[in-house]
């Protein structure tokens, strides 16, 4: 009745931005991401305790965060014949929330894998991805490692909306992602609210959906050939388009700050000098630089020269895994 899992966060190369179903977390478009190592979140789940209890990074979880965890576990209960009873959840991440990387993606992926195992359900990446999606959309892409594609699906019940691994981490061991933490503050508008505002008010939203859907197979082809330049250019284009559709929302959503723009300007200068480095940007001011092993030191130096307070260097990460050691 107790199980523990470890999962890595992921960074979207083609972003997910907007839901067609808020309750089931079904996206308007497909997306594609890279799982990031060595960052991880570990989560232990035990069923059959006296009352539900959720602790994340040493704090008792409250409000919508707690509700999301309990809702995911409710879905686990619905899949078993046994009466599992209330659950205790303890989750711990090993990277700063302030990095702007969605720790929730790794957290809900670990919760889904541990929750299924604690309930005695068999290991099943697709079922775990669907479950993780109920916690946070991007979490469905952290169940497996390497490059994962979240297929938007068509069904109203969401059973065909899950992530599949296209290439494992060993496909491109030379690829590097360098997180440039320019700002440690919490963002004003969370992804969940920002994407909803964009769907509802941006006149460019339909174009975003069409374009992102078309970029996914192109990104897949660039990854298949390990074509860093083509993938880098696609990543930047896709990030700009996500931010453009958000800037066109009413009221406008601007996640970039002056530091973000300064770093992007410097990237261009570096590329002119022949250093292969591109950026992607989630719903926050901290860019993630895409480069290769030979240039990661140069990418880190660039980030620091542009005011990065912290720099986190990442490599392609593996699948979420069950662990023998529990957190309680
Ligand atoms: C910009 O997965 O955090 O990082 O589904 O509402 O929990 P919810 O949102 P979330 O949004 C991620 C948005 C993004 C792009 C991406 O990761 O694809």
| pLDDT above 90 for 188 | no
Ligand 1 centre and the CA of 206: distance in Å? 18
- Predicted pLDDT of residue 185: 81
Residue from 102, 104, 189, 256 whose mutation best tests the ligand 1 pocket (most atoms within 8 A of CB): 102
| pLDDT above 70 for 258 | yes
- Predicted pLDDT of residue 100: 64
Pair 181, 309: CB distance under 8 Å = yes
Percent with pLDDT over 90 in the chain: 94
- Predicted pLDDT of residue 99: 59
- Summarize pLDDT for 13-64 with one digit per residue, the tens: 999 999 999 999 999 999 999 999 999 999 999 999 999 999 999 999 999 9
Q: What is the 3-state secondary structure (H, E, C) of the chain?
A: CEEEEEECCEEEEECCCCEEECCCCEECCCEEEEEEECCCEEEEEEECCCCCEEEECCEECCHHHHHHHHHHHHHHHHCCCCCCCCEEEEEEECCCHHHCCCHHHHHHHHHHHHHHHHCCCCCCHHHHHHHHHHHCHHHHHCCCCCEEEEECCCCCCCCCCEEEEEECHHHCCCEEEEEEECCCCCCCCCHHHHHHHHHHHCCCHHHHHHHHHHHHHHHHHHHHCCCHHHHHHHHHHHHHHHHHHHHCCCCCCCCCCHHHHHHHHHHHHHHHCCCCCEEECCCCCCCEEEEEHHHHHHHHHHHHHCCCCEEEEEEECCCCEEECCCCC
> How many other CB atoms sit within 10 Å of the CB of residue 265?
10
Atom of ligand 1 nearest to the CA of 33: 18
Ligand 1 centre and the CA of 49: distance in Å? 32
pTM over 0.85: yes
- Predicted pLDDT of residue 180: 95
| pLDDT above 80 for 302 | yes
- At residue 294 the predicted structure's pLDDT band, cuts being 50, 70 and 90, is very high
Atom of ligand 1 nearest to the CA of 16: 18
- Summarize pLDDT for 120-171 with one digit per residue, the tens: 999 999 999 999 999 999 999 999 999 999 999 999 999 999 999 999 999 9
Pocket of ligand 1 (CB under 6 A): 12, 15-17, 25, 31, 102, 104, 136-138, 191-192, 282-283
Hey, whose CA ends up nearest to atom 12 of ligand 1? Answer: 138
- For the chain, the average pLDDT equals 96
Residue from 97, 161, 191, 199 whose mutation best tests the ligand 1 pocket (most atoms within 8 A of CB): 191
């Amino acid at each position: 009745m107790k199980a523990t899992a470890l999962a890595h966060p992921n960074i979207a190369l083609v972003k997910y931005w907007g839901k067609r179903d808020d309750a089931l977390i079904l996206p308007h478009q497909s997306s594609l991401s890279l799982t990031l190592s060595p960052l991880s979140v570990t989560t232990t789940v035990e069923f059959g305790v006296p009352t539900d209890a959720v602790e994340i990074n040493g704090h008792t979880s409250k409000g919508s965060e707690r509700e999301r965890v309990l809702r995911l576990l409710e879905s686990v209960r619905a899949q078993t014949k046994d009466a599992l009873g209330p659950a205790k959840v303890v989750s711990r991440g090993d990277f700063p929330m302030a990095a702007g990387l969605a720790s929730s993606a790794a957290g809900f992926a670990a919760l889904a894998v541990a929750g299924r195992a604690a309930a005695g359900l068999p290991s099943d990446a697709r079922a775990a991805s669907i479950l993780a999606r109920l916690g946070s959309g991007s979490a469905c892409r952290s169940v497996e490692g390497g490059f994962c594609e979240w297929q938007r699906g068509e069904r109203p019940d969401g059973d065909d909306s899950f992530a599949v691994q296209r290439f494992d981490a060993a496909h491109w061991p030379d690829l590097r992602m360098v997180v440039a933490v320019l700002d440690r503050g919490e963002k004003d508008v969370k992804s969940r609210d920002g994407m909803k505002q964009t769907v509802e008010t941006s006149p460019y939203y339909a174009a975003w959906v069409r374009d992102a859907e078309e970029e996914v197979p192109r990104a897949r082809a660039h990854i298949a050939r390990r074509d860093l330049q083509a993938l880098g250019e696609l990543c930047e284009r896709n990030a700009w388009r996500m931010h453009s559709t958000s800037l066109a929302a009413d009221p406008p959503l601007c996640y970039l700050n002056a530091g973000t723009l300064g770093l992007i300007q410097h990237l261009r200068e570096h590329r002119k000098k022949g250093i292969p480095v591109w950026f992607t940007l989630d719903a926050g001011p901290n860019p993630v630089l895409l480069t290769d092993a030979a240039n990661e030191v140069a990418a880190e130096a660039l980030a620091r020269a542009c005011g990065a307070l912290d720099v986190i260097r990442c490599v392609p990460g593996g699948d979420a895994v069950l662990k023998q050691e529990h957190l309680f």
